[in-house]
Structure 1
């Protein structure tokens, strides 16, 4: 994931409302779910990032959920590196 991706999330987090907890990708269209998963895994292209940006502006409650998933993945990766895997 590039610094631009993280900057985009931080910018959204600064403008978002209360945190949503206990919510997964339930209720989203298949295309939206796939796009969010690609973003989390750092595989979105520029067009998808713009589309995700528009989606998150309309549905800011998802921002914290996405950020938490990214943070969890990053923390797991750091733990693996520290363990010598």
Structure 2
């Protein structure tokens, strides 16, 4: 079986893009803790920017992860705000 260079570069590009996506979420999380900015908006933008660059047929399925991340971030922010309020009041 002969594998075209385009296929190899596409697979490598998808892996690199996914690594950049995970790293960007980590950096956004650190930035959020330092500045208490709106983490939901940051993650939503990063999800759409990174997943929009995928050109394969898996794009639609990967875009389904955005609402899941949004729900996770909402609960995370709520817990973080609750913890900060409890520490401030005590």
Query: Is TM > 0.5 for Structure 1 vs Structure 2?
Result: no
Higher Cα radius of gyration = 2
TM-score category by the smaller chain?
A: 0.3 to 0.5
* Higher RCO (CA-CA < 8 Å; seq separation 6+): 1
TM-score by length of 2: 0.39
Normalization by structure 1: what TM-score? Answer: 0.41
